[in-house]
Chains A and B, each alone.
Chain A
Amino acid sequence: MNIESMYQEIILDHYKNPHGRGLRDPYDAESFQVNPTCGDEVTLRVAVEQDRIGDVSYEGQGCSISQASTSVLTDLVTGRSVDEALTTMDAFVEMVQGRGKVEPDEDVLEDGVAFAGVAKYPARVKCALLGWMAFKDAVSRVEGAAR
């Protein structure tokens, strides 16, 4: 397959001009995730207001895939209900873990569909999921605290 299908313009745009980057207050939970095989890392904060995702802020270092996917994440989940955000996350995870066999729904994943090509590069799937794992962890901490 053509490498350009992984390094799409959308990904490079998010990498060079990330959305929502920088750690901000207030927040309800924070998660730090690291990929031990490559050292990519992200620290992500989530604020939840009445069951809706408020601000999502993050800092990180790593490859274009890990950083751009976290930038896309902020666009996809901010302002959504927690349930909607988690459904979107599941769709993203399903796509990048689908070994190229999952047809992504652009209505759900928007810019996220640019990461469909990553699915064919198993070594990079973890990169694409790094920020999402931080998001999942942070949300579960918020929900855990609420219970």
Chain B
Amino acid sequence: MTTTVAPLDVETIRKDFPILSRTVHGDRPLVYLDNAATSQKPRQVLDAIVRYYETSNANVHRGVHSLAEEATALYEGARDKVAAFVNAPSRDEVVFTKNSSEAMNLVARVLGEAGPGYRVGAGDEIVITEMEHHSNIVPWHQLAERTGATLKWFRITDEGRLDLSDLDSVITERTKIVSMVHVSNLLGTINPVERVIARAREVGALVLLDASQSVPHMPVDVAALGADFVAFTGHKMLGPTGIGVLWGRLPLLQELPPFLGGGEMIAAVTMERSTYAEPPHKFEAGTPPIAEAVGLGAAVDYLTAVGMPAIAAHEHGLTEYVLEALSSVEGVRIVGPPTAQDRVAEVSFTFGDIHPHDVGQLLDAQGVAVRVGHHCARPAVLRYGIPATTRASFYLYNTRAEVDALVAGLAQVRKVFG
């Protein structure tokens, strides 16, 4: 961190999250270390959703009554908040989706149906990486199957970094789209996306970033990043489930065909044909997730008030601490970069030959919630010659004492399995 920021008042922050004071398995305090799967929600977000339903609930964009006006203002206000949060040049570049997966599926789908300029067809190449979440692999498999395009990918190194040694041969004049993860949900790696984007620019390829694990944890400026699309999801950034975001450059969103058809995404409909609305509504068919957008707006307000640089600094400190703590536990092998440089506070590891499911179950018995399995990134897990990992992932409300609880929990696991 080059900027100096005041440390977070974590104890005060924790009081905003009702769930963090509950216990599990009787009287065990909850140690929630599964934030890469989903984050917990502060009272401010829960209140905003309840307040919306109690006072303003109506459908949006289609009523002249007071509630409809209020609901529309709240929904569109959430779009303004999200646009400001990621420094989008225009609010119309923020498309609300169901989640990151839907955002990426949207791009993959419309690129197969686009006009000649952007259309992905037979002979074209799609580039991803070996560290993608399944949500950034499967849609491209599907697009390749539909169109006859070819899928290529960057490999990853033993240390969990992207191997860009073949940058110029993987991304070529044939490449139409490069879709890659900004921060890996398995390895915690922050990828050097600017190098990939620069190469993509040279050959005229589009770039989609899966920012599901970056936008919640660090300042992200979509204008500065220089990608064409950025996808992220509300529930990993203190918001509710059911709402995600696709940011896209406006000229692209204007030119690309719509995704789903239905209400709200049209300009005019006759029995013979339909014409479509301008972005972002063009990509938001049907009644949108209104309360969810309101909740996401409140989450963005919360994160902004705490300060993303301060959150990133806090988590960087946790990353250093957990890496050091885990490397001192006999039998732990960290899967991912061994240092905190260009890395977030998500740590995957194996523990001797004890299966991650057993590790996770026995940690849970002590109140420590972690994720086990392949984390929807099976190719990357297999790359390391293992079937699964245990993953501890942190957020603004986590403390060093919780890292210590994880380490103590592992000692108990060792006891049971001897």
Contacts and interface: CB of A to CB of B under 8 A. Distances in A.
A-B complex is real: yes
Contacts of B43: none
Interface stretch (A24-32, A58-66, A133-141): A58-66
Interface residues of B, number: 19
A68 to B, nearest CB: 10
Contacts of A124: 357, 361
Interface of B: 25, 355-358, 361-362, 364-365, 372-374, 378, 381, 387-388, 416-418
A38 B373 contact: yes
B357 A127 contact: yes
A63 B362 contact: no
A3 B387 contact: no
A134 B6 CA distance: 57
Nearest to B374: A39
Nearest to A7: B416
A108 interface: no
Contacts of A3: 25, 361-362, 364-365
A6 interface: yes
26 contacts: A3-B25, A3-B361, A3-B364, A7-B358, A7-B361, A7-B362, A7-B416, A12-B417, A37-B373, A38-B357, A38-B373, A38-B374, A39-B373, A39-B374, A39-B381, A39-B387, A39-B388, A61-B387, A62-B355, A62-B357, A63-B356, A64-B355, A64-B357, A64-B417, A65-B357, A127-B357
Contacts of A37: 373
A64 B374 contact: no
Interface of A: 1-3, 6-7, 12, 16, 37-40, 61-65, 121, 124, 127
Contacts of A6: 361
Contacts, number: 48
A63 B355 contact: yes
Give 3 nearest A-B pairs by CB, closest first. A3-B365, A63-B357, A63-B355
Contacts of A61: 387
A16 B365 CA distance: 21
Contacts of A7: 358, 361-362, 416
A125 to B, nearest CB: 12
A37 B378 CA distance: 10
Contacts of A63: 355-358
Contacts of A2: 365
Contacts of B356: 63
Given A65-B357, A124-B361, 9 more contacts: A3-B362, A3-B365, A12-B417, A39-B378, A40-B387, A62-B355, A63-B356, A64-B357, A121-B361
Contacts of B365: 2-3
Nearest to A6: B361
A116 B207 CA distance: 51
A37 B376 CA distance: 9
A62 B378 CA distance: 15
Contact of A64 (B25, B358, B364, B372): B358
A3 B367 CA distance: 11
Contacts of B373: 37-39
A3 B372 CA distance: 17
A6 B365 CA distance: 11
Contacts of B362: 3, 7
Contacts of A62: 355, 357, 387
A16 B358 CA distance: 13
A55 B228 CA distance: 60
Nearest to A67: B355
Contacts of A121: 361
B134 to A, nearest CB: 11
A124 to B, nearest CB: 7
A3 B373 CA distance: 20
B258 to A, nearest CB: 33
B377 to A, nearest CB: 12
A17 to B, nearest CB: 12
Nearest to B359: A63
A49 B25 CA distance: 48
A1 B25 CA distance: 7
Indicate the member of A3, A62, A65, A127 with the most B CB atoms within 10 Å.
Answer: A3
A61 B372 CA distance: 15
Contacts of B378: 39
Contacts of B387: 39-40, 61-62
Contacts of B418: 12, 16
A127 B356 CA distance: 13
A61 B416 CA distance: 19
Nearest to B366: A3
Given A63-B357, A124-B361, A38 B25 contact: no
Contacts of B364: 3
Contacts of B416: 7, 12
